[in-house]
Structure 1
Amino acid sequence: MNFNDIYEGLINGTEKLALVGLGYVGMPIAVEFAKHIKVIGFDINEKRVNEYKNGIDSTNEIGEAIKHTTVDFTSDPAALKEARFIVVAVPTPVKDDNSPDLRPLESASKTIGQNISPGTIVVFESTVYPGVTEDICAPIIESESGLKLGTDWKIGYSPERINPGDRVHTLTSIRKVVSGMDIESSAEIQKVYDIIIKAGTFMASDIKTAEAIKVIENSQRDINIAFMNEIAMICDRLHIDTAEVLDGMNTKWNALGFRPGLVGGHCIGIDPYYLTSAAEKLGYHSRIILNGRKVNDSIGAFIADSSIKEMIEAGMAPKKAVVIILGITFKENCPDTRNSKIVDIIERLREYDISPIVTDPWANAEIAKQEYNVDLVPFDELPPADCVIVAVGHSQFRSMSVMQLKEMFKPELADEEKVLIDVKSLYRMDELRASKMRFWRL
Structure 2
Amino acid sequence: MGIKMTIYENLINKKDKLAIIGLGYVGLPLAVSFAEKVEVIGFDINQRKIEQYRQGMDETKEVGNSRIKLSSIEFADDEKQLQEVKFFIVAVPTPVKSDKTPELSPVKGACEIVGRHLQKGSVVVFESTVYPGVTEDVCIPILEQVSGLICGQDFGVGYSPERINPGDPVHRVHNIVKIVSGINKEILEEIAKVYELVVKEGVYRASSIKVAEAAKLAENAQRDINIAFMNELAVVFERMGICTYEVVQAMNTKWNALGFTPGLVGGHCIGVDPYYFIYKASKMNYHSPLISAGRKINNDMGRFIADITVKQMIQAGKRIKGSRVCILGVTFKENCPDIRNTRVLDIIARLREFEIQTVIVDPEANEEELEMEYGIKLVPLDEVKEVDCVIVAVAHEAFQRLEVEAYDSLFKNDTSEEKVFIDVKSIMDREEMKKNGYSYWSL
Shift of 1:3: 4.7
Matches within 5 A, 1:240-251: 240-251=242-253
Matches within 5 A, 1:125-144: 125-144=127-146
Q: Is the 8 A contact 2:418 2:438 kept in 1?
A: yes
Matches within 5 A, 1:35-434: 35-63=36-64, 64-414=66-416, 417-434=418-435
Q: Is the 8 A contact 2:325 2:389 kept in 1?
A: yes
Q: Is the 8 A contact 1:3 1:188 kept in 2?
A: no
Q: Is the 8 A contact 2:130 2:276 kept in 1?
A: yes
CA separation in 2, counterparts of 1:181 and 1:2?
Answer: 14
Q: Is the 8 A contact 1:390 1:421 kept in 2?
A: yes
- Structure 2 counterpart of 1:5: 6
Partner SS for 1:40:
strand
Shift of 1:436: 2.1
CA separation in 1, counterparts of 2:140 and 2:352?
Answer: 45
CA separation in 2, counterparts of 1:114 and 1:81?
Answer: 9
Q: Is the 8 A contact 1:93 1:270 kept in 2?
A: yes
Which string of whole-angstrom CA distances, capped at 9 and with x for unpartnered residues, describes residues 161-211 of structure 1?
000010011111100000000001000000000000011000000000000
Q: Aligned partner of 1:428: which letter? A: D
Shift of 1:413: 4.2
CA separation in 1, counterparts of 2:357 and 2:124?
Answer: 48
Query: Larger deviation: 120-129 or 346-355?
Result: 346-355
Shift of 1:384: 2.1
Shift of 1:322: 1.2
Q: Is the 8 A contact 1:118 1:147 kept in 2?
A: yes
Shift of 1:431: 1.1
Unaligned segments of structure 1, at least 5 residues:
none
Q: Aligned partner of 1:330: which letter? A: F
Q: Is the 8 A contact 1:365 1:376 kept in 2?
A: yes
Query: Larger deviation: 402-411 or 382-391?
Result: 402-411
Q: Aligned partner of 1:424: which letter? A: K
Shift of 1:407: 2.2
Q: Is the 8 A contact 2:325 2:388 kept in 1?
A: yes
Partner SS for 2:226:
helix
Which string of whole-angstrom CA distances, capped at 9 and with x for unpartnered residues, describes residues 4-35 of structure 1?
21101111111110000000100110010000
Partner SS for 2:95:
coil
Shift of 1:313: 1.0
Q: Aligned partner of 2:42: which letter? A: G
CA separation in 2, counterparts of 1:211 and 1:171?
Answer: 19
Q: Is the 8 A contact 1:403 1:435 kept in 2?
A: no
Q: Is the 8 A contact 1:225 1:259 kept in 2?
A: yes
Which string of whole-angstrom CA distances, capped at 9 and with x for unpartnered residues, describes residues 215-247 of structure 1?
110000000000000000111011111110000
Q: Is the 8 A contact 2:316 2:439 kept in 1?
A: yes
Partner SS for 1:319:
coil
Partner SS for 1:320:
coil
Q: Is the 8 A contact 1:41 1:72 kept in 2?
A: yes
TM-score (normalizing by structure 2): 0.98
CA separation in 1, counterparts of 2:214 and 2:184?
Answer: 18
Moved runs in structure 1, 4+ residues, more than 4 A?
A: none
CA separation in 1, counterparts of 2:69 and 2:11?
Answer: 23
Q: Is the 8 A contact 1:264 1:339 kept in 2?
A: yes
Partner SS for 1:288:
helix
Q: Is the 8 A contact 1:3 1:185 kept in 2?
A: no
Which string of whole-angstrom CA distances, capped at 9 and with x for unpartnered residues, describes residues 388-413 of structure 1?
00111111100012232122111124
Q: Aligned partner of 1:41: which letter? A: G
- Structure 1 counterpart of 2:439: 438
Shift of 1:432: 1.8
Which string of whole-angstrom CA distances, capped at 9 and with x for unpartnered residues, describes residues 369-402 of structure 1?
1111111111121122110001111111000122
Unaligned segments of structure 2, at least 5 residues:
none
Query: Larger deviation: 330-339 or 370-379?
Result: 370-379
Q: Aligned partner of 2:184: which letter? A: D
CA separation in 2, counterparts of 1:244 and 1:398?
Answer: 19
TM-score (normalizing by structure 1): 0.98
Q: Aligned partner of 1:5: which letter? A: T
Partner SS for 2:411:
coil
Shift of 1:315: 0.9
Partner SS for 1:137:
helix
Q: Is the 8 A contact 1:40 1:72 kept in 2?
A: yes
CA separation in 1, counterparts of 2:406 and 2:4?
Answer: 61
- Structure 2 counterpart of 1:15: 16
Which string of whole-angstrom CA distances, capped at 9 and with x for unpartnered residues, describes residues 301-348 of structure 1?
000000011111111111221110001000111100000010110011
Q: Is the 8 A contact 1:18 1:41 kept in 2?
A: yes
